[in-house]
Amino acid sequence: MARVRELHRGEPRELAGYRLVGRLGDGGQGSVYLGEDPTGRRVAVKVLHARLLGDERARRRFLRECVLAGKVAAFCTARVLDSGLVAGRPYIVSEYVPGPSLRELVSREGPRRGGGLERLAVGTVAALGAIHRAGIVHRDFKPGNVLIGPDGPRVIDFGIATAVEAGTSGSAVVGTPAYMSPEQIAGEPATAASDMFGWAATMAYAATGRAPFAGGSIPAVMHRVLTAEPDLSRVGEPLRSLLAACLAKDPAARPSAAGVLDALMDGGGNLLGRYERGARYERGDRFEDGDRYADLERYEGGDGTYPVEGGGADAGPGRRLSPRGRALAAGGVAVLLLGGVMLGLAWRTDVGAPAPPETVTEPIVRVGR
């Protein structure tokens, strides 16, 4: 169950008709409260931080991403119920999921095993596939952004906090190093393939209690993501092969969420046989339900479903890291390793829109080009 802190003096007791009964936590962009609607139903209320109120762009993006989140199938996330402005301050009201994050659960009870791990993998990759079909790239898929509700896992905090941060930092990309893809570390735009990398790292954590590139300093973790093979030695088959494919350094070599879900439903299947490693996503490739490629052209903002701005994410296809991106990534990590120079490093509690507060903080690193 999510931990709820009592409200302190000076904190609001009511917002837009919702009674606030406690605080779930704080993220980099907003505070999250446990609230009740007029009927007594419990909800999660996220309010943009006061320090961002003067940033009109951040306010617009906060609410725009709320609209996008509302397009995602309700089964896979904490459903958005309401949003608006109170005294010029944006808020988002979401379904309250009474359960811990995956990170909390593994920390408290240990790695997932057997059928429980299989259900988690199926539920989360199905959710990620629904998010991608809605034209959204999560960009920060990690254990703290998966809630274990009484009716199954929910993926939260997609495209909301990340969009605000990216919108206030030019071409910077924000993420959690142990779950960031190589292209994100290189400062290139995140894509659906980047999410598959984060999903695989998260499932490895669920199966072993340890991220596949974790350990040591943040620069060392980033270096391993770019150059080392993931440690999947404690993950059993057939999941190990699926995760290995999703953790390919080349984003275009990773299978889609639909492909992984199909393989999982087939008992693991022969993913590398059905979806040859190294096959390329191409712009304009499309799929009918169950096939590999998403309708990628509609993710490019042409129909307004996901406007692409600056260095933010797009939901387009996976791609190879460009030579410039590889050089920037290698050079950036080398500088970090040699000089300890951190590029906009910040620490924050890992809390999503309706997420419970985490007792352990994770590093959120900003990589600019």
For residues 335 and 227, membership in a common domain is answered with: yes
The domain in which residue 301 lies consists of 102-367
Annotated catalytic residue 350: no
Taking alpha carbons only, the member of 146, 256, 134 closest to residue 194 is: 256
- Asked whether 152 and 123 are in contact (CB, 8 A), the reply is yes
Residue 211 has pLDDT above 90, yes or no: yes
Of 72, 95, 118, the residue that ends a domain is 95
Residue 114 has pLDDT above 90, yes or no: yes
For residues 176 and 256, membership in a common domain is answered with: yes
For residues 341 and 264, membership in a common domain is answered with: yes
Residue 182 has pLDDT above 90, yes or no: yes
What's the pLDDT at 321? 56
The CATH number of the domain where 258 resides is what? 1.10.510.10
Question: Which one from 26, 82, 140, 285 is the annotated catalytic residue?
Answer: 140
Total domain count for the chain?
2
Q: Which two tokens stand for residue 99?
A: 């359960």
228 lies in some domain:
yes
What's the pLDDT at 224? 96
Question: Concatenated DSSP letters for 63-96?
Answer: HHHHHHHTTS-GGGS--EEEEEEETTEEEEEEE-
pLDDT: is 74 or 177 the higher one? 177
5 lies in some domain:
no
The CATH number of the domain where 47 resides is what? 3.30.200.20
Out of 27-36, 198-207, 308-317, least confident range: 308-317
124-148 pLDDT, tens digit per residue, is: 999 999 988 888 888 889 999 999 9
2 lies in some domain:
no
* Global confidence as pTM: 0.71
